[in-house]
Amino acid sequence: KTHSETLLPMLDEMLNMINTKVDEVDGIAVAAGPGSFTGLRIGSSVAKGLGFALNKPLIPVPTLEGMAYNLYLTEGLICPLMDARRNQVYAAAFQWKEKSFISVIPQEAIGIREFLDKVNKTQQPVIFLGDGVPVYREIIEEECKVEHFYAPAHLNKQRAASIAARGMEYYIAGKGIEASQFIPEYLRLSQAERERLEQERKDG
């Protein structure tokens, strides 16, 4: 079954298990992207629908930041890599400094070698995680010149709990927004949009 069919029943079951009513929540943390276009649209639609219906704020958490947050208080750079296809990754770098979680390299859609060049320039040890790692591990081993490691399997993927934990920090800091203001961060055009622009150029 698709996420559009299973997501709301799963939310309902989860709330029943913890004996909580949906209108008791203070805010709704949502993975803001990048990621699968379909997945982002389904997730953002559900989050916005709940926000509108319950009059609750949405707390957008960039997907790569949520992934990096899996490695709480880890030293060195934390670099999540998501396979973006078309020889690109969605990538970023974060770091803990005195218990503050900061962005070192902003998230972007980028070629893996170009991103590794940015990592090398930091001259810091780095730990990689995400589904882009097995796809590009051979290139990482060839091109990454700084000391580097790989996250263990149980911390290597997107986790809703990390989005929630980071979202709680943002909520406390007053970073919630109205549902109408939320727009997913795709970072690049969808295949359909790219094909349309290409056709317009040919016709033009």
SS3 of 191, please? helix
Return the H-helix or E-strand segment holding 71: none
> How does residue 196 score in pLDDT terms, banded at 50, 70 and 90?
low
Would you state the structure tokens that stand for residue 129, as one six-digit string? 């995680």
- The pLDDT of residue 85: 87
The pLDDT of residue 125 is above 90: yes
Determine the Cα–Cα distance for residues 85 and 77; give it in Å rounded to an integer.
24
Mean pLDDT of the region 25-41: 93
pLDDT digits (tens, 9 = 90+) for 127-151: 999 999 999 999 999 999 999 999 9
- The pLDDT of residue 194: 55
> How does residue 193 score in pLDDT terms, banded at 50, 70 and 90?
low
Would you state the structure tokens that stand for residue 171, as one six-digit string? 């909520």
Put simply, whether the predicted model's pTM sits higher than 0.85 gets the answer yes
SS3 of 187, please? coil
The pLDDT of residue 192 is above 70: no
Determine the Cα–Cα distance for residues 184 and 81; give it in Å rounded to an integer.
18
Higher pLDDT, 197 or 33: 33
Would you state the structure tokens that stand for residue 85, as one six-digit string? 């296809």
Determine the Cα–Cα distance for residues 3 and 84; give it in Å rounded to an integer.
20
